[in-house]
Amino acid sequence: MAGPVDKTAIDWSRLDKKKFFVVGAGLFSGLTTMLYPLSVIKTRQMALEGSQSGLRGAYLTARGVVAHDGVRGLYKGFGTVIGGMFPARMVYLSTLEMSKSVTNSLLHRFDLGDTAAVGAASFVGGAMASLSSQLIVVPIDVVAQRLMIMGGGPPPGGDPSARAAAAAEAAARHHTSGLALARSIVAAEGVRGLYRGFGASLAMFVPNSAIWWGSYGVWQQVLWHQVDRLRGHHWHSEGEILAVQGAAGILTGCTSAFLTNPLDVVKTRLQTAGAEGAAATAAAVAAAPAAQGAQAMAAAAAAGGGSGAAGAAAGVAAGAAARPTWRQVASHLLQTEGAAGFFRGVAPRMASSSIWGTTMVCSYEWLKRLCARPADDDAA
């Protein structure tokens, strides 16, 4: 089953685990910092009523956030994400490598070609990695995404009531922290409020991760076969390795982002439902007067109780009153926006996934080579 990709692959058993985790923590924290603004833009496009789709919508969304909150607006919820993603990322990467290793061992019993074997092992590894990390990821997502849609100016094309709501919300929640918002969610909805959209998250991230890693394994094999056919040998320079892994990352990012975007739109709307400015997601939510939330927030601020935590609690309480389901969100989206609604935010998501895929894969593969123990150590 040996092939050109196997010559650059490093199995979990060969990694120096301590070095892998320490260096990996710094590496992926840096990547998250660089690419975080794309997540904010994507989330606001998906969740806010009146946001335009496509590349122009992404540009208008980013411009609105920067004009209203400055560049720091593109990092709303960043503290929550960067603080919680380290354990999640380490659980994810450990499970990914162990699952791939176990699956590869099992597949040796079958007469599979290189591409099928690598794709299958990577698919299983990606699914298991996402499944194992969701208990940590979902609460971080719920809090961070609600912070992302706070303020940032009214959504492009919004009506006067939406603008009033955005202004009142910004005044009441300007200093809301992730911890304060999490406490407000728990107070209003219990701990399960932090796991809103958990099923949707599993339905989105598990197949997304499986498709991502499975596609990466297949794209990498396909590209290596093409390189070897043109070059006539199986020895690869460091430059060739980086080029192939980078190209595979771009192709993989576009593939997985496009195929799973509908699931991400529904998940994002489920997790942000009830937050001021968020798109209506069920008949009960849509029927609620749009101005009530803004008036309540403005009144709380005028009474001196408009601190970030108090404003967050008001918004969370409103969200708890009408909790939409996966089916309601999808049905409402289809009725109001048609099939195109399921591809809101697909442009920044594909860009983010491709950039992230390229940088993450190249960095991750480099990290594995850096942390690989000599073969003699395994024998010992």
pLDDT digits (tens, 9 = 90+) for 94-133: 888 889 888 888 887 787 777 788 888 889 998 998 888 8
Position 128 scores a pLDDT of 92
Q: What is the per-residue pLDDT for 151?
A: 65
Contacts of 115 (CB under 8 A, 6+ apart): 217, 218, 221, 222, 225
Query: For 222-230, which contacts have Cβ atoms below 8 Å and span 24 or more sequence positions?
Result: 222/115, 223/247, 223/248, 224/3, 224/4, 224/5, 225/3, 225/4, 225/115, 227/4, 228/4
What pLDDT score was predicted for residue 233?
A: 64
pLDDT given at position 274: 63
Which among 126, 7, 20, 97 is positioned nearest to 368, based on CA atoms? 20
CATH no. for 17-158+170-292+301-311+320-371: 1.50.40
Measured distance CA(377)–CA(145) in Å, rounded? 45
Residue ranges of domains in the chain: 17-158+170-292+301-311+320-371
3-class secondary structure, 48: strand
The pLDDT assigned to 289 comes to 36
Q: How far is it, in rounded angstroms, from Cα 272 to Cα 49?
A: 12
pLDDT at residue 322, as a whole number: 56
d(CA 294, CA 342): 28
**Residue of 113, 168, 166 lying closest to 295 (CA atoms):** 168
pLDDT in the model for residue 276: 54
Q: Render each residue's pLDDT in the chain as its tens digit; 380 residues.
A: 334 334 456 777 778 888 887 787 777 778 788 888 888 888 888 877 677 777 788 888 888 889 888 888 888 888 878 777 777 877 888 888 889 888 888 887 787 777 788 888 889 998 998 888 888 888 888 888 888 877 665 554 555 455 445 544 554 455 567 788 888 888 888 888 888 878 877 887 888 889 888 888 889 888 988 888 887 766 777 778 888 888 988 999 888 888 888 888 888 888 777 665 565 444 434 443 333 343 433 343 333 444 444 444 444 454 444 567 778 888 888 898 888 888 888 888 888 788 877 887 888 888 888 888 876 554 44
Q: Are 68 and 151 in contact (CB under 8 A)?
A: yes
State residue 15 phi and psi, 5-degree precision.
-85, 140
Exposed (0-12), middle (13-18) or buried (19+): which is 289, by Cβ within 10 Å?
exposed
Can you give the pLDDT at residue 9?
62
For the stretch 62-96, pLDDT in tens is 888 898 888 888 888 888 787 777 778 778 888 88
pLDDT at position 147, please?
84
| pTM confidence score | 0.60
Rounded CA separation 131/120 (Å):
17
Predicted local confidence at residue 175, as pLDDT: 56
